Structure formats: C-alpha cells, structure tokens
Amino acid sequence: MPEKRTMERARRDKAEGKAPSTQAGEFVREEIDHIREGKHGARSARQAIAIGLSKARKAGVDLPPPKEGTTSSATRKSAKRAYEQGQGKAPKRRTSPRRSRATKAALKREGSAAGSKSALARQGRAAAKRRTPASRSAASRRASQTKGPRRRSAAAKKAARTRAGAT
C-alpha cells in the first residue's frame, strides 16, 4: 500500500498535467526510499523501479503496460494485471497472506545496494543509451512545457553550468 504522501504527490503531478510516467515516478521514489531505509532490499535498481511502477499502476496511474517486443511476456502480463486492477476492471482478489509474507521475506533477504546513487545512475545511463538522441531531446522538450517559467529558468542555468564544466 503506497504512503498517503506519495498518493498526494502523484495526484498533484496529474493536476499539473504531467505525464503518467512522471506521476509513477513518485511511487518509484518511495520504493527507493524504502530500500535506503532498510525496510527491504532489491536485487537491482531495475527491480526497485519495477516494484514502484507496479504500485503506481495498482494505485490508478494511467500507465499502460509495455508494448509487445519491449519486455518479456511475463512482465507484460503482470503489468497488464496491475493496470487493470488500478483502472477498476480486474476483479480485486484478496492477496494470499502466505504469498505476501513470502514476497516480503524474499525482498528482505536482498541487499540495499540497488538503492544507491551509483546503481540508479548506472541504470539511468543504460536506459538512456537505448533511446535515440531525438527521442531524448523530445522528452526534455515535453518536460519543459509543464515546468513553469521559474523552474525552466533554473533548469536552463543548471544546463549552462553543466556545459561549462564539461568542456
């Protein structure tokens, strides 16, 4: 069950017209925080992100399952089930307590390195590498639309500092 604060943040993102993936980001952040706090672990940053996305879908974020050919059929099936549950289409079955305990215990046995800054940075870079420069550029252009003048200006200044340091 996501925390109340996470739900509110996601709701605010939706009201501001931000993309479903941005709304889902709040749930991913919560998951990373849980790993850092030691509530449980994860095998990799990718697993932590997957747990967060699943929570987001179940909470009703309009984040459709991945398209065919992008992930395994098991992942797609799981995402579809979570998405339908969040949209109120799938029958909401009670989670089996035994299964829930087993999942929790398995996550507790995992390490907390998946929540480290370096692991997340590595995952982010790997994900960005799989995208075309045009797609990355378009994403940043879309992001700037919902930023607002003050935050857009701050982002531009930061980008300028980054470029100055890179040379």
Residue 100 lies in a domain: no
pTM of the model: 0.82
pLDDT digits (tens, 9 = 90+) for 137-155: 998 888 888 788 899 899 8
Helix (H) or strand (E) holding 73: helix 73-86
**Average model confidence (pLDDT) across the chain:** 92
- Compare 73 and 165 and report the one with higher pLDDT: 73
| Main-chain phi, psi angles of 95, to 5 degrees | -70, 140
- Structural domain for 53, as ranges: 1-92+110-130
Residue 103 lies in a domain: no
Residue 47 contacts by C-beta under 8 Å, 6 or more apart in sequence? 114
Q: Is the pLDDT of residue 112 over 90?
A: yes
26 and 6, same structural domain? yes
137 and 126, same structural domain? no
Residue 98 lies in a domain: no
Q: Is the pLDDT of residue 42 over 90?
A: yes
Residue 102 lies in a domain: no
Residue 101 lies in a domain: no
Q: What are the distances in angstroms from CA 103 to CA 40, 44, 88, 99, 108?
A: 10, 16, 24, 6, 9
146 and 126, same structural domain? no
Residue 104 lies in a domain: no
Count structural domains, the chain: 2
pLDDT at residue 167, as a whole number: 60
Q: What are the distances in angstroms from CA 88 to CA 10, 27, 61, 83?
A: 18, 19, 11, 9
87 and 144, same structural domain? no
pLDDT at residue 70, as a whole number: 87
68 and 14, same structural domain? yes
70 and 143, same structural domain? no
pLDDT at residue 3, as a whole number: 93
- Compare 42 and 90 and report the one with higher pLDDT: 42
151 and 83, same structural domain? no
pLDDT digits (tens, 9 = 90+) for 60-111: 999 999 999 989 999 999 999 999 999 988 777 888 999 999 999 999 999 9
The whole-number average pLDDT for the span 3-25 is 93
147 and 125, same structural domain? no
147 and 83, same structural domain? no
9 and 52, same structural domain? yes
